[in-house]
């Protein structure tokens, strides 16, 4: 009887892997599926406005499911795995060692937060903060323009769409090097607009870091 009861509890409470469905490890992402995430090369993916952009992984099947699960399907527990993947990558970059970063998620407009209930990149930053010891700063830069989704736009259209989208509140600037964090870096337009707004406000020490890039 006890055995049946335990099996029943297991059935109810054991977590299933969001990726393969296995409940063997009772984890939201089992080690097998985590292993499938592929790192990008361990150097800056590109330089925009004189700022290095690092992209931790290639936007392949598992990473896509991880990012989209957190962003669109309310799978908040995935924030930890996204942050862990970024941190595993980050730890291997010599250039980023011995810097006391402050973590800045790409901000969402308040209308978007109302719809999605949370900013997924804030959740990733919080988890990354636990892994790295760096502090988060969610107040320095705000998104004041409710921009259109970018995926169908060309690079010039993206820049136009994002023009004037970000406003910096210098009262929250601590002087630390800023690590801007996003999930996907496609053309780099979002980072570029953030960099411009931050530099205009006199915040010049910046590094960009995306979970993934399709290229």
Per CB under 5 A, the segment of 24-32, 79-87, 89-97, 130-138 that binds Zn ion is: 24-32
Tokens 């392949």, located at residue: 60
List the one residue from 9, 10, 14, 17 that touches Zn ion (CB under 5 A). 17
Q: Which residues pair with 55 in a beta bridge?
A: 210
CB 59 within 8 A of CB 184: yes
Is 65 among the residues that bind Zn ion (CB under 5 A)? no
Residues 101, 111: Cα–Cα separation, whole Å: 29
Q: Which two tokens stand for residue 101?
A: 């970063």
Q: How far is the CB of 29 from Zn ion (least distance, A)?
A: 6
Residues near Zn ion (CB under 5 A), total: 5
CA 157, chain centre distance (Å):
23
Q: Which residue number, 31 or 214, has a Cβ lying nearer to Zn ion? A: 31
18 belongs to the binding site for Zn ion (CB under 5 A): no
Nearest alpha-carbon partner for 184 in 150, 160, 137: 150
- Strand arrangement of the beta sheet that strand 101-105 belongs to: 46-48, 51-58, 206-213, 177-184, 101-105, 135-136
The residue range among 17-25, 38-46, 78-86, 181-189 that interacts with Zn ion, by the rule CB under 5 A, is: 17-25
Count of CA atoms in the C-beta half-sphere (13 A) of 61:
6
Taking the complex as a whole, how short is the minimal distance between the CB of residue 14 and Zn ion, in angstroms? 13
Q: Is 191 in the site for Zn ion (CB under 5 A)?
A: no
Binding flag, residue 141, Zn ion (CB under 5 A):
no
Question: Measured from the CB of residue 32, what is the shortest distance to Zn ion in angstroms?
Answer: 5
Query: Binding of Zn ion at residue 19 (CB under 5 A)?
Result: yes
Residues 106-125 that bind Zn ion (CB under 5 A): none
Which residues pair with residue 110 across a beta bridge? Answer: none
First-last CA distance in the chain: 56
Nearest CA to 118 out of 80, 83, 79 is that of 79
For position 30 contacting Zn ion by CB under 5 A, the verdict is yes
Q: Which of 15, 16, 20, 38 binds Zn ion (CB under 5 A)?
A: 20
Q: Give min distance, CB of 200 to Zn ion, in A.
A: 45
Is the Cβ of residue 32 or residue 43 nearer to Zn ion in the bound state?
A: 32
Phi, psi for residue 212 in degrees, rounded to 5: -155, 165
CB of 171: closest distance to Zn ion in angstroms?
A: 45
Nearer to Zn ion, 20 or 201 (CB): 20
Sites of contact with Zn ion (CB under 5 A): 17, 19-20, 30, 33
């Amino acid at each position: 009887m006890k055995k049946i009861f335990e099996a029943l509890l297991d059935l109810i409470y054991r977590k299933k892997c969001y990726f393969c469905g296995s409940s063997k490890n009772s984890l939201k992402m089992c080690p097998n599926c985590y292993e499938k995430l592929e790192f990008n090369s361990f150097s800056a993916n590109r330089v925009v406005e004189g700022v290095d952009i690092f992209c931790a992984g290639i936007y392949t099947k598992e990473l896509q499911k991880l990012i989209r699960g957190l962003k669109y399907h309310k799978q908040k527990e995935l924030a930890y795995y996204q942050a862990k993947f970024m941190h595993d990558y980050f730890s291997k970059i010599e250039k980023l060692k011995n810097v006391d970063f402050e973590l800045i998620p790409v901000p969402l407009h308040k209308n978007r937060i109302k719809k999605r209930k949370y900013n997924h990149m804030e959740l990733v930053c919080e988890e990354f903060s636990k892994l790295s010891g760096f502090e988060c700063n969610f107040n320095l830069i705000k998104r004041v323009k409710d921009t259109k989704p970018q995926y169908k736009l060309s690079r010039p259209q993206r820049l136009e769409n994002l023009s004037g989208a970000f406003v910096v509140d210098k009262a929250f600037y601590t002087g630390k090097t800023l690590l801007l964090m996003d999930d996907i870096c496609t053309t780099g337009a979002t980072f570029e607009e953030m960099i411009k707004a931050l530099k205009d406000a006199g915040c010049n020490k910046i590094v960009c870091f995306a979970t993934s890039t399709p290229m």
